[in-house]
Amino acid sequence: MTLRERLGAELFRKVAGPDGDRARERVHGTPGPRWFAPDSPIARVHGDASMFVGGIRAIMLQSLHPAAMQGVADHSGYRGDMWGRLAQVSTYIAMTTFGTEKDALQVIRAVQRAHESVTGTMPDGTPYAASDPHLLGWVHAAEIESFLLAHDRYGHRPLVARERDEYVAQTAVAAEHLGVIGAPRSEEELRTVLTAYGPELRGTPAAQEAIRFLLLHPDLPLVARPGYLSLATAAIGLLPAEARRELRLPPVPPVTNRVLGAAATRTIRWAMASGHAHARELQAQQT
């Protein structure tokens, strides 16, 4: 393998997990009807290297909802298996974006079953549940805004005009199957939803601790940490100023985060080109 192929394989293994190759074959190689075309807005965004930045930004933003963060603190294995959790999320996104409708619905049901056990009580005695449509709505909206902003800044072919609303509407398909009620279907609706959640958000000690762990303990070899920190810096740069203050994150000079983010995403796109080409070949066989 060339250096490029080795780097791409290591990146893919890290984000997709030890069964990533098998999952990719299933996602792209299984015949059957799919929700979205290969060149649709959702496929362009979710298949782009900018997702690395968007994913980190989404985790940071989502942590600002105390109930969402409490569920992570009580039930998530992010301290012991951060990359295992990431592999689960990346498989879910890949399956619901590129997989057959049958497989997409199957992975959604698996997540719903997992959510059934994620319940608990907030420090003030308020109960929470991961299956709560209101909480699911926050997680979805924060995630989609993060992916869209990261793609705007670092994507290979950013969405324009009606493509942006189409992307938001396409993400609503899986979200509503999962349990979100009235998921936004336009960029304007997305902004309205995010604004409505504003009064509920704050940087709890649990959120601040989780984000520090995410930044300082990524469970990566020393040689890979500069690249990871470049992605994290780019993600911090895309957060609203209030979110950075709530999470006690330092301001990042705009030029710095743009340069680091652009360099990191270009490197990822270059390294993973062969893997994406293989996925396209599998997709072409189904058409």
Phi/psi for 82 (5° steps) reads: -60, -45
N-terminal to C-terminal alpha carbon distance within the chain: 30
| Other Cβ atoms closer than 10 A to 212 | 13
Position 159, amino acid: L
Phi/psi for 129 (5° steps) reads: -150, 135
Is residue 161 predicted with pLDDT exceeding 90? Answer: yes
In a domain, 110, yes or no: yes
In a domain, 207, yes or no: yes
In a domain, 257, yes or no: yes
In a domain, 60, yes or no: yes
In a domain, 32, yes or no: yes
**What is the percent of the chain with per-residue pLDDT over 70, rounded to a whole number?**
93
In a domain, 287, yes or no: no
- Mean pLDDT check: name the lowest of 63-77, 78-92, 139-153, 241-255: 78-92
Domain that holds residue 144: 3-281
Is residue 80 predicted with pLDDT exceeding 60? Answer: no
Q: For residues 1 and 175, which has the higher predicted lDDT (pLDDT)?
A: 175
Q: What is the mean pLDDT of residues 95-119?
A: 96
Question: How would residue 84 be classed by pLDDT, with cut points 50, 70 and 90?
Answer: confident
| Other Cβ atoms closer than 10 A to 10 | 13
What is the pLDDT at residue 82? 67
Judged by DSSP in three states, 7 sits in helix
Is residue 165 predicted with pLDDT exceeding 80? Answer: yes
In a domain, 164, yes or no: yes
Q: What is the mean pLDDT of residues 116-138?
A: 95
Indicate the number of domains in the chain: 1
What is the pLDDT at residue 119? 96
3-state SS of 225-277 is: HHHHHHHHHHHHHCCCHHHHHHCCCCCCCHHHHHHHHHHHHHHHHHHCHHHHH
- pTM equals 0.91
Contact (CB, 8 A) for 183 and 172: yes
Length in residues, the chain: 287
Question: How would residue 287 be classed by pLDDT, with cut points 50, 70 and 90?
Answer: low
Q: For residues 18 and 278, which has the higher predicted lDDT (pLDDT)?
A: 18
Is residue 35 predicted with pLDDT exceeding 80? Answer: yes
Tokens 């929470």, residue located: 128
Phi/psi for 125 (5° steps) reads: 95, -5
Q: What is the mean pLDDT of residues 110-118?
A: 95
What is the pLDDT at residue 256? 82
**What is the percent of the chain with per-residue pLDDT over 90, rounded to a whole number?**
66
What is the rounded distance in angstroms from the CA atom of residue 174 to the CA atom of residue 200? Answer: 25
In a domain, 286, yes or no: no
Q: What is the mean pLDDT of residues 27-41?
A: 94
What is the pLDDT at residue 77? 61
Is residue 169 predicted with pLDDT exceeding 90? Answer: yes
What is the pLDDT at residue 87? 81
What is the rounded distance in angstroms from the CA atom of residue 119 to the CA atom of residue 117? Answer: 6
What is the pLDDT at residue 224? 78
Is residue 81 predicted with pLDDT exceeding 60? Answer: yes
